[in-house]
Amino acid sequence: MKIGKPGVFIFSAVAVAAIILAGALYTSNGAAGPADNEDKIAIKAPAETSEGKLLQKLRSELPADSVITVSYADDFNKDSKPGLFAIVNKGKDSGEDILDGQVWYVSDTAIEKMLETSIYRNSTAVWDVDSQKLFRLEEGYGGSGSNSHVWSVRDGKPYELKYAGEALEYAGNKQFYTYPGAFDMLRDGTGGHTWKPYYLYFDETTGMFREYGGISISREDLLKLKNASGILDKITEKGMKITGIFYRSNGIININYMDEIYNLNLTLTVKDDTVTVADPNFIDNPNLDQGGIYKAAIFEEIAAYPDKFIK
């Protein structure tokens, strides 16, 4: 569901599951990834191609019963030198959505195992962030949670971008949305699983993620923006209590509030001193999957905060 400026999306728990199970599988020549039964058993590429040579190099390092299930060959460093990320199944490929796998990186000068864990096979993707390309997959075990992993290459060396969170999605223009799970739905503290989007961006200087941290603003601050009064009135007229408001430099405002049972929240977008909300019926139809309490940041270690509110 779009909530304002292009590229900003909010997802329900069902959509989060879809994120994990979705992925455009492709190789550097634009061909599709594993699609038929034969290709799911082993990735093939002509031996004389760059991808074929890298696959052969990887196979030479693996036990005989290992199967290369997914591979992406691309110029990740954008230095005209190809590299390849691959998922290797440690035994016979059963074709299941989750596999007991390894992640490898291979180039002309390097071969390295990056991760060994349970992997959602169809969660892989390659994203272009201008100066380089990123390889992403989702680690999971079939439950309601998962962990996103993202790698890239700089100076010929693969590395992992930390703090990717959960169910990471790319919205374009170096902007990302992550959905870390929390058990903060119920006011009495007894739980209730929620997935709220937090906002990341790719930092060209460091090659890592940064988070749009939020600064606390008052109700009076928010009322300086057009449309804010009507939105706040809808909350208070229903007897709900506002417990906190955060402003982020990507134009997002998160309002935390609560009713008699639930911790709830509302996301606004700001443009030209005007705030908008995606769903005008948010009071009567709250999305509990995305309920709970917003924090100033989910990853304090990488958070970048605005110096001040816009007004």
pTM recorded for the entire structure: 0.84
Question: Strand 208-212 to strand 303-304: parallel, antiparallel, or no bridges (unpaired)?
Answer: parallel
Tell me the C-alpha distance between 82 and 144, whole Å.
36
Same domain, 88 and 220: no
More confident residue, 145 or 24: 145
Per-residue pLDDT band at 238 (split at 50, 70, 90) = confident
Q: Which of 87, 76, 84 is closest to 34 using CA atoms?
A: 87
Which neighbouring-strand residues pair with 83?
74, 107
Specify if 95 maps to a domain.
Answer: yes
pLDDT surpassing 90 at residue 158: yes
Is residue 160 domain-resident? yes
Residue 258 pLDDT greater than 80, yes or no:
yes
| 58 belongs to a structural domain | yes
Give the mean pLDDT of 66-91: 92
Instruction: List the single range of 37-46, 68-77, 223-232, 233-242 with lowest mean pLDDT.
Output: 37-46
Of the residues 185, 212, 239, the one at which a domain ends: 212
3-state secondary structure of 280: coil
* Domain end point (choices 181, 212, 243): 212
Residues present in the chain in total: 311
Same domain, residue pair 251 and 143: no
The whole-number average pLDDT for the span 63-68 is 90
The residue from 178, 212, 246 where one domain ends is 212
State which residues form the domain around 191.
13-212
State the total domains in the chain.
2
Average pLDDT over every residue of 36-60: 70
Between 260 and 95, whose confidence is greater?
260
Asked if residue 88 and residue 56 are part of one domain, the reply reads: yes
β-strand pairing of 208-212 with 214-216: unpaired
Q: Which of 123, 205, 193 is nearest to 164 (CA)?
A: 123
| 310, part of any domain | no
Measure CA of the first residue to CA of the last residue in the chain; give whole Å. 28
Distance CA 192, CA 183 (A): 5
> pLDDT category, 21, cuts 50, 70, 90?
very low
Question: pLDDT-derived band of residue 97, with 50, 70 and 90 as boundaries?
Answer: confident
